[in-house]
Amino acid sequence: MAGDTKLDTYLDTQISEVRKKVGDKKVLLALSGGVDSSVCASLLSKAIPGQLSCIFVDHGFMRLNEGDQIEQVFSKYKLCFIRVNAQKRFLARLKDVSDPETKRKVIGEEFIRVFEEEAAKLGDIQFLAQGTIYPDIAESGGKHGKTIKSHHNVGGLPANLAFSGLVEPLAGLYKDEVRVLGRKLGLPAFLVNRQPFPGPGLAVRVMGEVTEEKLDILRKADAIVREELDRTKRRPDQYFALLTGTRSVGVKGDNRTYDYVIAIRAVITDNFMTCEYAPLSHRILSCMSLRITGEIPAVSRVVYDITSKPPATVEWE
């Protein structure tokens, strides 16, 4: 789907279908503050005003300062906004878990458990809304495809989901179309243009077992990557840092170090179904590397991922 006219038609159709499906019932949305869930929240608040409750589950895997920013934005909207601080709960569930598929499904199940608990406090809420978009469905197997990786809002849903139905108004759109739709709905530019972020957050950008120490290191490195690339005139479509499962020998001052390796990922894509790595200049790569190794003592080496999709995916896990 392309073009403003088709997106206008899509918006009108989804508003009509949501109203028909939901009726006068209440809807609970998993609001992460990312592009997809934010656009979903805006669409639903327009389709069923007064019937939407948005729960922001702060699982502890957000980017630097992102949790507070999300609360500041959405607490001003005319909807029921609830922030759940569940950082310790999620970390406990991921203790000794290293397999990426297991991490995604554990986080997905824990998300739903939190929703069920919060829904019970809110009263009779029968529908769960999700910001699922078409690539999520395709990569999770869809109806006919093979599973590449399970997204927390597709592959991780438990069998005994305590809601009578799902509402997924963005399931027919690609990421670029979701951004356009968000602008049509009046969302602020900084939110609509936010970098894509996986539902499990930094948990799938930390290779291997997730710990609080690793998350803190990655938040700082990722912030540096985004700061530097945000300044460029022609930015890649997605860029971020990840903490590899490797340590490397280094030298700081007169001392030998054996610290973490940070990888930088930056890609160019139209629809995120395929991508090419972004040919960043050596000047920018050098700047990011110097800042990361200089400002984060626990990092000794920085590498750049030059793999396209396929054979790789955008995310490493």
111 and 217 housed in the same domain: no
* Confidence (pTM): 0.78
142: left (phi over 0), alpha (psi -120 to 50) or beta: left
In terms of Cβ atoms closer than 10 Å to its own Cβ (0-12, 13-18, 19+), residue 98 is middle
Single residue among 132, 163, 192 that ends a domain in this structure: 192
Q: Read off the tokens for 39.
A: 């656009």
- d(C-alpha 243, C-alpha 150), whole Å: 20
Alpha carbons within 13 angstroms on the beta-carbon side of residue 195 total: 25
In terms of Cβ atoms closer than 10 Å to its own Cβ (0-12, 13-18, 19+), residue 22 is buried
Confirm if 236 and 266 have CB atoms less than 8 A apart.
Answer: yes
Single residue among 192, 227, 254 that ends a domain in this structure: 192
- For residue 290, the domain's CATH number is 3.30.300.10
Q: What is the pLDDT of residue 33?
A: 86
Mean pLDDT of 303-310: 97
104 and 140 housed in the same domain: yes
Q: Is the dihedral of CA 55, 183, 151, 307 positive or negative?
A: negative
Single residue among 166, 192, 218 that ends a domain in this structure: 192
96 and 29 housed in the same domain: yes
| Domain membership flag for residue 219 | yes
| Domain membership flag for residue 312 | no
| Domain membership flag for residue 59 | yes
Tally the domains of the chain. Answer: 2
93 and 212 housed in the same domain: no
The type of residue at 289 is S
73 and 36 housed in the same domain: yes
> In which band, very low, low, confident or very high, does the pLDDT at 152 lie, cut at 50, 70 and 90?
very low
Q: What is the pLDDT of residue 3?
A: 63
| Domain membership flag for residue 291 | yes
14 and 148 housed in the same domain: yes
| Domain membership flag for residue 153 | yes
What letter does residue 62 receive in the DSSP assignment? P
215 and 156 housed in the same domain: no
Q: Does pLDDT of 199 surpass 90?
A: no
Q: Does pLDDT of 275 surpass 90?
A: yes
Quote the mean pLDDT of the chain: 89
**Domain encompassing residue 237:** 205-304
- d(C-alpha 47, C-alpha 34), whole Å: 20
| Domain membership flag for residue 255 | yes
Q: What is the pLDDT of residue 125?
A: 86
237 and 182 housed in the same domain: no
> In which band, very low, low, confident or very high, does the pLDDT at 51 lie, cut at 50, 70 and 90?
very high
Q: Read off the tokens for 209.
A: 């077992």
Confirm if 122 and 55 have CB atoms less than 8 A apart.
Answer: no
| Domain membership flag for residue 239 | yes
Question: Which long-range contacts does 135-141 make (Cβ < 8 Å, 24+ apart)?
Answer: 135/174, 135/175, 135/271, 135/272, 135/273, 137/171, 138/273, 139/313
| Domain membership flag for residue 199 | no
292 and 211 housed in the same domain: yes
Q: Does pLDDT of 184 surpass 90?
A: yes
